[in-house]
Structure formats: C-alpha cells, structure tokens
C-alpha cells in the first residue's frame, strides 16, 4: 500500500504542517492543522506544540501522525501568546520547521459572550462493533444557535472519518444526526474513528479524540487459526486446484513415513497447458511472530525438464501475490523426495499459499506431499533454508536451484 510506514522515507526531517489555526477562550487555546503535503513520502512520527508569552518556551510532544489538533489549558485571560507547531521524525538534525502564529485569549466577560459561537470538537465518541457494521455515536458540546432552529435555517452537520488503524487510508461520511453506521468494513481488523462538527456558516471544529474498534471475524469465512498440516491421506485439506492441467490426489507408497496419498500432476489430461496452481485455504496467523512453511516435492525422471516451481503468498484482501521461492526443477535430483523449509516473518493479515508449476513444452511428472504451515521458526536443522524475510523483502523474488542431497540453496 502506498503511503505506509514501509514506503515513506526518514532520511530528512518532515516539512511544516499546513493550514495551522488557533482559537482561544479566556483560559485555553485550541490549535489544529493539516499534515505536511509531503507526508506521503517523508515519514511523520508526530507533532510538537510550543507556546508562551513573547516566545514559545513551553513544549508539548504529541506522538502519532494522525493527531491534528490540541488544546492548551490554564492560560491567562486577555493575554497574547505565541504558538508554534512542527512535525518530527527520527531523522538526524533538528525537528521540522516551525509554523509560528499569535493569539490573544479572551477576557472572562468576552469568553462568556462568545462561548456559544465557538465550535468545539465532538466528545464521548464511541464506536460499537455489530455483526455486519459499526455504530458510531457522540455528543456535541456546542450549544445550538438561534438561527439553526429556523425553518429556513441551515443546520450543523458532522463528518465521520474512519479507516484502518495506523494507516493513511481513510474515508469520510457526512451525517446530520449524532450517530452513524459504517458498513462494508473488513472483518477482524482495527478501525479508528473521529468526528468533527460543521455549522451552517461552514465553520469547522477540530477532529475529536479518536476511538478504536475491532470488527468481528467473519464466521462464514474459511479460516484456519492454528498450525495446518496436510498429507492428503483423507482429502484435499480444503485446497483447490486451478488450471487446465490439474493436480490429482493419488495413492501410492511414494514418500517414506508419510502415508499412502500425495498430490500429483497428470500431464496426459491436458497436453496443451503450460501451468497449474494448487491453493490452500485462508489462514489467520496474526499472533505468530514467525511462521514456518514446509513441503516436499518429487520430480520424475524426464528429459528436457524446463519447469519452474514457485510458492506465493497471496493477500486475502488485495489479492496481491508475493513470490517466496522459485525453483529450477531441472537441477533437482529425480525420483527422490526433497524437503523445503521457509522461515517467514509473522504478524500477517489473512493470506493463502499458492503452489505454482509452469513449463514451456510438456508438464513434468511432479508430486507434492507433507504441506505444513506452523507457528514459530522451522526447527529442523537439516539442509539449507531461506532466511526469515520481512514483508518488504518479499517484494523481491528469490530464485533457488537444487542439486544432489541439498535441502535448499538459499540466498543469505
């Protein structure tokens, strides 16, 4: 996803926040701002708000890039203050350039007169997850104005902003009441919700304090939450085969100590095809910090074997496939089962594993067995294994060749 923390750079400090405003009462000042225009490229980790009489000598650090307002309390009435707002990250050097502005607090009398016309952010924002939606409710601390109650008057309305927690992708919903229903959300994900109020004259409040809600899991989805082992002894383990040349579950003592059934390709069923795919059920392994993918493959003796066997990780939400391993089967020892082990970084959203075989001329006789997805690092020390790639590393495919007794030749 563009704009995530993995894709933004932190080689320099962020630019200044934009559209910085201040609104005062007798004893407080609320500042609000927009993110720097370059926040999609330069990482912002938070903001700093400074204030003081004459110079902004007091400083408050706000962690998190999504906060865009802050209220300073216990100010003196009828006093001019200097305010400053800047963004920061962990790049070497000073913080980002400050935006300076001044504001005078109201007198106690003026604050009482004008308080009804100042827009404060909604309070008590609550997001409640239901079976297929999220209900959001809030309270509006701003008193109603007389003109808002006229028949021909323009009333206030509210903007509800929501999106996946700690991401930059947010959607907005406009409502007239003090509640809203959010639909078409992803199951089993954390969403953050904030609300602002806009009056009939177009004046906006800052965003409210965010509430975070976890959407319920989809009970109908085909999801495995535990370690998964498939030896094809009873059935296909929920796997699907796609392509003109299909994988078949066949019987035979083909793999020692692994039962009597394996998945095998029969090239005679579709001689004109050039690929075949075997796809696992959907997995949810978010609580596992490391994952181990294991499988065994056997290639029958065949001349001109130019096939490529690959394993992909497919994101259940975006359907994007990332190649985990690519094997030149022509360099594999034939008529022998070879075990593969892949260590992967965990804490992943829902995904599937896709086993793909491609060839140029004719499909080689290929068999798969002992497919395993388990929590933790692969414990077997035999053979060479791939290193524990991170999600960003998986964007680059890894090409591996095999020969002799090697379990796997990886790139470290």
> CB within 8 A of 386, min separation 6: which ones?
324, 325, 341, 342, 343, 398, 400, 408, 410, 411
Residue 342: count other Cβ atoms within 10 Å of its Cβ: 24
Instruction: Output the pLDDT for position 411.
Output: 23
The pLDDT tens digits along the chain (412 residues) read 334 444 567 888 999 999 898 888 888 888 888 889 888 888 888 899 999 999 999 999 988 887 788 888 889 999 999 999 999 988 877 678 899 999 999 887 765 545 434 688 898 899 999 878 999 999 988 877 655 544 444 578 999 999 988 777 789 999 999 999 999 888 888 899 999 998 877 788 888 888 999 988 765 544 444 678 888 877 888 888 887 677 888 875 555 445 567 778 766 655 567 888 899 998 888 777 778 899 988 887 765 567 888 999 998 888 888 899 988 888 888 888 888 888 887 778 889 999 998 888 777 888 888 899 888 777 644 333 343 322 333 333 333 333 333 333 222 1
- In what order do the strands lie in the sheet containing 179-182? 123-129, 134-139, 179-182
Asked whether the CA dihedral 9, 11, 13, 18 is positive or negative, the reply is negative
Instruction: Output the pLDDT for position 59.
Output: 92
> CB within 8 A of 347, min separation 6: which ones?
286, 287, 288, 289
Residue 219 has, within 13 A of its CA and on its CB side, a CA count of 2
Domains in the chain: ranges and CATH:
18-113 (2.60.40.10), 119-214 (2.60.40.10), 223-401 (2.60.120.200)
DSSP states of 264-276: EE-GGG-TT--EE
Cα(198)–Cα(342) distance, integer angstroms: 53
Cα(63)–Cα(48) distance, integer angstroms: 9
Instruction: Output the pLDDT for position 146.
Output: 55
Instruction: Output the pLDDT for position 218.
Output: 65
Q: Are 207 and 138 in contact (CB under 8 A)?
A: no
What phi and psi values does residue 400 have, to the nearest 5 degrees? Answer: -125, 140
């Amino acid at each position: 996803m563009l704009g995530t923390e993995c894709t933004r750079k932190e080689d320099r400090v962020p630019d200044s926040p934009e559209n910085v405003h201040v609104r005062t009462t007798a004893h407080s000042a609320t500042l609000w701002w927009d993110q720097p225009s370059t926040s999609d490229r330069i990482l912002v980790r938070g903001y700093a708000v400074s204030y003081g009489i004459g110079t902004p000598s007091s400083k408050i650090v706000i962690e998190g890039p999504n906060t865009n307002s802050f209220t300073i309390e216990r100010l003196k009435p009828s006093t001019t203050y200097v305010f400053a707002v800047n963004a920061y990250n962990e790049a070497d050097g000073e913080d980002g350039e400050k935006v300076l502005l001044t504001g005078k607090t109201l007198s106690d009398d003026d604050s009482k007169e004008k308080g009804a016309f100042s827009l404060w952010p909604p309070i008590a924002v609550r997001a409640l997850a239901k079976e297929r939606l999220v209900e959001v409710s809030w309270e509006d601390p701003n008193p109603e104005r007389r003109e808002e109650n006229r028949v021909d008057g323009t009333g206030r309305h509210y903007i509800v902003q929501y999106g996946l927690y700690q991401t930059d992708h947010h959607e907005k919903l406009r409502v007239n009441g003090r509640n809203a229903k959010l639909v078409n959300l992803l199951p089993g994900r954390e969403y953050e919700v904030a609300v602002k109020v806009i009056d009939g004259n177009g004046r906006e409040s800052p965003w409210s304090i965010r509430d975070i809600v976890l959407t319920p899991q989809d009970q109908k989805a085909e999801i495995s939450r535990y370690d998964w082992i498939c030896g094809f002894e009873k059935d296909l383990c929920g796997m699907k085969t796609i392509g003109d040349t299909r994988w078949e579950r066949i019987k035979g003592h083909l793999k020692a100590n692994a039962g009597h059934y394996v998945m095998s390709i029969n090239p005679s069923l579709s001689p004109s095809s050039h690929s075949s795919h075997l796809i696992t059920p959907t997995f949810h392994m978010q609580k596992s910090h490391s994952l181990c993918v294991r499988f065994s493959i056997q290639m029958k003796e065949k001349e001109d074997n130019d096939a490529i066997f690959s394993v992909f990780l497919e994101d259940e939400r975006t359907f994007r496939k990332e190649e985990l391993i690519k094997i030149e089967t022509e360099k594999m020892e034939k008529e022998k089962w070879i075990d593969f082990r892949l260590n992967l970084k965990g804490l992943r959203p829902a995904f599937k594993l896709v086993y793909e075989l491609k060839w140029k001329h004719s499909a080689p006789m290929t068999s798969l067995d002992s497919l395993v997805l388990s929590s933790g690092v692969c414990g077997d020390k035999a053979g060479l294994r791939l290193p524990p790639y991170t999600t960003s590393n998986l964007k680059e495919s890894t090409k591996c060749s095999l020969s002799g007794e090697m379990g796997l030749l990886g790139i470290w």
